[in-house]
Structure 1
Amino acid sequence: MKRLLNAVSILSLCFYLASRIAVAQTSGSDTVLVLPFENTSNFKEYNWIGESFVDALSELLSVPGLRVVASDERELIYQRLRLPLTVIPTRATAIKIGREAQATLVVYGAYRVTPVQGENAPAEIQGTARVIRVNEGRLLGEQLADGRWASQQFDFGGPLKTLQAMQGRLAYQILYQRDKAFPFSLNQFIERATKVPARAFESYVKGTLTTDPEKKKAYLQNALLEYARVNGGATYTQAAFELGQFYFERQDWKEAAEYLSRLQKRDRHYAEAAFYAAIAYWRMNDLTRALGALLPLTTETRMKSVYNNAGAISIQAARSEAKVEERDRLLKQGAALLQRASESAPEDPLVRFNYAYALLLLGKYAEAADQLRPVITANPRDGEALFLFAKALEKMGKAEAANSADNESRRFLPAYARWQTEWLRSQTLSQVPLRLYQNFNRLDYYDAARDRLAQDEGTNVDAKNLLAKARELYAAGRDDEALPELRRALTIEPMSAEAYLILGYIHQRRGDLDAAVSALRTAIFWNPRLIEAHIALGRIFLDRGDRAQAMTYAKNALQIDPNNPEAIALQRQVETGIK
């Protein structure tokens, strides 16, 4: 039973933390950058611990109202600032990096390791972390009564085998210092931090840091095996991503696709993994799986490379499809995606080439020619573009211009004779290769993510306004008018604890107690510290004569606020049996 409760607790926490569109906490929205912690001891074999703090804290600090700058994005920032990845920045440099990352908070720290002293004695780690408020140039803390600023230092330490618990405790302390109303407990954070077995976590971090190919593969495979052994065969997705990247770089397409396709939408590197998995499948000419990996990204991202590759593979799949209806569907799908790519990057010759090819297949010859002219201007020796341009002009009845373009394509296209033979025989272009982006542009991805976040924050304002209106209508007794506002708010923000609280109140007032209990429990699921929901449930169960359940909710409310008069009154009523 205890294991089940822990699972429910962790599930609740994970759902809460996975949301990127939840209403921001009272302290407002922040962006946090975690820097590698400095190893101040002389034992370099423990340098991996410093990077492990980046990985662990980046995961744990990802809560509503707090965007985390990913490690990949940090590396891009280091490159822009011409800083080596191994540099341990000073406070001034940390602020500079934070500003470049558009971060409002920077976490940095240092640790020292005391290695094993005896056969059974574990290595010990002691360290300190600090958080810089970038815009203010000072450390995270609080204002004292006399007006002075008291900065907060976060100390951690213990046996090395408890490293992940330390990181969970540190993340909780940072979040609590930032927002005293943070609705989760320290134990919940430690449970979340230790969900990856210690040996798997250590192997994973070491695998990401080593430059030795064989060691990298061995570390990552060991991380996957250890995680699966402890978690009933489940996949350690971060290790799977790194191993998939390892095989992709070595052009082992089968193994790359196998590991990269294990990531799900909730995983941090899902978009990049799906992008490279699609290329790996495409290299193996498995176009169905390539599209299966890539098409979901067209609704998740706004990247020209995603639109282009999904469109190009759709066109390629259409060429080899025997069924007319399916071929037409794939062709229209590809053209639509390539049009979106062209709109997002109108000057990109690679996108223009693919879009022109799709337009040719659709019989839109004039539009195809318009797309190809800038491609040829950018590269007058592009034989493939010249060949397509000649065919578009030919179909438009511009014989002289078509012959001129055809003569130029003959000069620069090695496959001209084969392509021209096919064209004369069947008026088809099945041998023309589509052009795909081979690299996932992380900078574009993070820019798109910031745009989505800005839109989400705007959406949250709408949800808050709807909740405020519903609250007023409920207070005025106008429940029928409040319900549509609540439903609209939950459509925008399906994890709003307050919306479910008001919904529970309305059902309770109407006498529909089962619906009230369901709504109030959902409110607690999304915010376990919502004291009003605990009190309301306690009263409902007291009215039903279930004193045990009523006492449970009364005690829960008192744990949240021992001085809350309504919680105290509820407990007294339960103890005396008064309804």
Structure 2
Amino acid sequence: MEISAHGKLLLVLPFENRSSDANLDWIGEGAADVLNRRLESAGFLTISRGDRLYALDHLGLPLNFQPSHATTIRIAQNLDADSVVLGYYTVNNGRLTTTTQVLDVKALKLSTAITQDSDLKSLLTSFNGLAWQVARQLNPSFEIAQQTFLAADSTLRVDAFEKYIRGTIAEAPAERVSNLRDAVRISPTFSPAWVALGRAYFANQEYDNAAATFGRLSADDPNALEADFYRGLAFFYTANYLKAEDAFAFVRVRLPLPEVVNNQGVAASRRQRDGSALFQQASAADPKDEDYHFNLAVSLRRRNDIPGAIREIDQALKLRPNDSEAQTFATTLKDPASVKVNPDPGKAIPDDNLPLERIKRSYNETGFRQAAYELEQIQAMRMATMAPKQQAEALVKEGDQFLNRGLTLEAERRYQSALAADSNTALAHAGLAQVREHSGDTATARQEAQKSLSLSPNVPAYLLLARLDLAANQLPSAAGEVSQALHLEPANANARGMKQALEARGQQVP
């Protein structure tokens, strides 16, 4: 069973503009954005734009630098990338032509070039198709259908995408916000633009706007963790500590990285609640971070645990000896005349002279993505110990969860893996049928649904066939399929809704 792509790090560089029009430079960054999003959804571990820009800065290179192959290798090595996707494009008479190759960093070998030509208005479709071809080069056994990639940005308008990219790369804050606001106005369901707009507001210290913007994302959106981390900070900086604590807690439950755990503890402490357990968790996860030991020392001091506080502040100073605030706090803790002791052991004492716990202000995107990736690998290893039928059932359940969130590419990965574990899994075929329906391939959707029913009667397959027949005005066939679904699950809301729709058109459901 394989639901990930070998665990190798992949760096996608902006494509080089070989057109004569500098106003089209945004297309190169757009190509990198689409390929990054698609390949990450397909199970590859990609390197973020932020880390790429950090590497360029670390190497003393300008951010819009177009590297030679030698410099590309240096950048990849700096980021520990195993492969690099690079390319260039031209635009002539409204036609976009891209040429792309994959560089194997260790073997220093370039793949066969992939060339695509499309109408400029079909830019997103072209880049999504290119992402599928790159995935096939990186993993020849890659099974996700090309149409699933092509349909991934079906609701995103090209003009909104252009505004999003221009907003992402703009240097002037006002220009950045203006472009991103246009992007979400044109395509309000494109969540990466909402995240970018929220971050732009946050960078401008417009915290109320930032919190409201990040709040536009649903809890199951792929970008929800990043959004809620910054939303928590925005609430924190406006002294709304309860909402800040809730936002950090939302992220911590899903990915308990130390900076998130720490921030939940800091928000809790501002509400006069004990954050010691959270600070202990953060310092255990990253014992080399001085701030976590400092925060735990302050929290333990509030709990009247003087020995524990001294132990933690000493550890903090070992990690950062020149921290003047920690030095002063350590001196106070070790001076009996300065330490107020509550005669009731374990009870906190008010002390207005205590330093405040420290918040972590930066979102470590790479850390978050790697942690999510590692959790997926752990889940895959756990499933590998199951019997094939159990594996398939678990994978179908995951696929259904992704499908319900509109993440069809991720859903197809699970359904394909389920069939690899047990090819007779009816619900995996039913899931694939729904993925094909979403991507507009109705013929294959029908085939998958029929294959599913040949293995075992099930509601999702019957309802999919009913939807297809209803769309084709084949009302008697649709009525029969809805009847079969209701026979299996009389209370199924979707089946009952279709029954009402058919009866409203004069077709009785037996």
Out of 94, 97, 105, the position equivalent to 1:126 is 97
5+ residue gaps, structure 1: 1-21, 116-122, 141-150, 229-233, 320-329, 394-400, 407-425, 471-482, 506-515, 553-579
* Count of residues paired in the alignment: 434
Q: Deviations over 1:481-517 (max 9, x none)?
A: xx6x766787899845565787795xxxxxxxxxx75
Q: Does the C-alpha gap of structure 1 residues 467 and 524 become closer, same or farther in structure 2, counting only changes over 3 Å?
A: farther
Matches within 5 A, 1:494-509: 495=414, 497=416, 499=418, 505=424
Q: Does 1:273 align with 2:227?
A: yes
Q: Deviations over 1:187-221 (max 9, x none)?
A: 33222134311111111111112222322221111
Aligned to 2:116: 156
Aligned to 2:351: 429
The answer to whether the 8 Å contact 1:52/1:205 transfers is yes
2:99 is paired with a residue whose SS is strand
Matches within 5 A, 1:178-327: 178-228=138-188, 234=189, 236-264=190-218, 267=221, 269-317=223-271, 319=272
Give, in whole Å, the separation in 2 of the partners of 1:287 and 1:464: 43
**Aligned residue identity for 2:97:** Q
Give, in whole Å, the separation in 2 of the partners of 1:182 and 1:384: 53
Q: Does the C-alpha gap of structure 1 residues 237 and 454 become closer, same or farther in structure 2, counting only changes over 3 Å?
A: closer
Give, in whole Å, the separation in 2 of the partners of 1:126 and 1:503: 42
Q: Deviations over 1:294-313 (max 9, x none)?
A: 11222344543222221111
Matches within 5 A, 1:34-433: 34-114=12-92, 123-140=94-111, 151=112, 153-228=113-188, 234=189, 236-264=190-218, 267=221, 269-317=223-271, 319=272, 330-331=273-274, 334-375=275-316, 382=324, 386=328, 390=332, 401-403=335-337, 427-430=349-352, 432-433=354-355
The answer to whether the 8 Å contact 2:242/2:268 transfers is no
1:106 is paired with a residue whose SS is strand
TM-score (norm 2): 0.73
Aligned to 2:493: none
The answer to whether the 8 Å contact 2:396/2:428 transfers is no
Q: Does the C-alpha gap of structure 1 residues 63 and 253 become closer, same or farther in structure 2, counting only changes over 3 Å?
A: closer
Aligned to 1:464: 384
The answer to whether the 8 Å contact 1:353/1:385 transfers is no
**Greater C-alpha radius of gyration:** 1
5+ residue gaps, structure 2: 340-347, 401-413, 438-443, 469-510
**Aligned residue identity for 1:131:** V
Q: Deviations over 1:29-58 (max 9, x none)?
A: 443211000111221111011100011111
Give, in whole Å, the separation in 2 of the partners of 1:187 and 1:205: 24
Aligned to 2:479: none
**Aligned residue identity for 2:240:** D
Give, in whole Å, the separation in 2 of the partners of 1:379 and 1:92: 40
**Aligned residue identity for 2:253:** T
Q: Deviations over 1:100-142 (max 9, x none)?
A: 3333321111112236xxxxxxx332221112222322223xx
Aligned to 1:538: 454
**Aligned residue identity for 1:372:** I
TM-score (norm 1): 0.65
How far apart are 1:168 and its partner, in Å? 1.5
**Aligned residue identity for 2:106:** N
The answer to whether the 8 Å contact 1:501/1:519 transfers is no
Give, in whole Å, the separation in 1 of the partners of 2:360 and 2:38: 32
**Aligned residue identity for 1:537:** L
The answer to whether the 8 Å contact 2:9/2:80 transfers is yes
RCO higher in structure (CA 8 A, sep ≥6): 2
The answer to whether the 8 Å contact 1:204/1:223 transfers is yes
| RMSD of Structure 2 on Structure 1 (CA) | 3.8
**Aligned residue identity for 2:101:** R
Q: Does the C-alpha gap of structure 1 residues 23 and 255 become closer, same or farther in structure 2, counting only changes over 3 Å?
A: same
Q: Sequence identity, in percent?
A: 23
How far apart are 1:389 and its partner, in Å? 6.0
**Aligned residue identity for 1:437:** I
Give, in whole Å, the separation in 1 of the partners of 2:323 and 2:150: 61
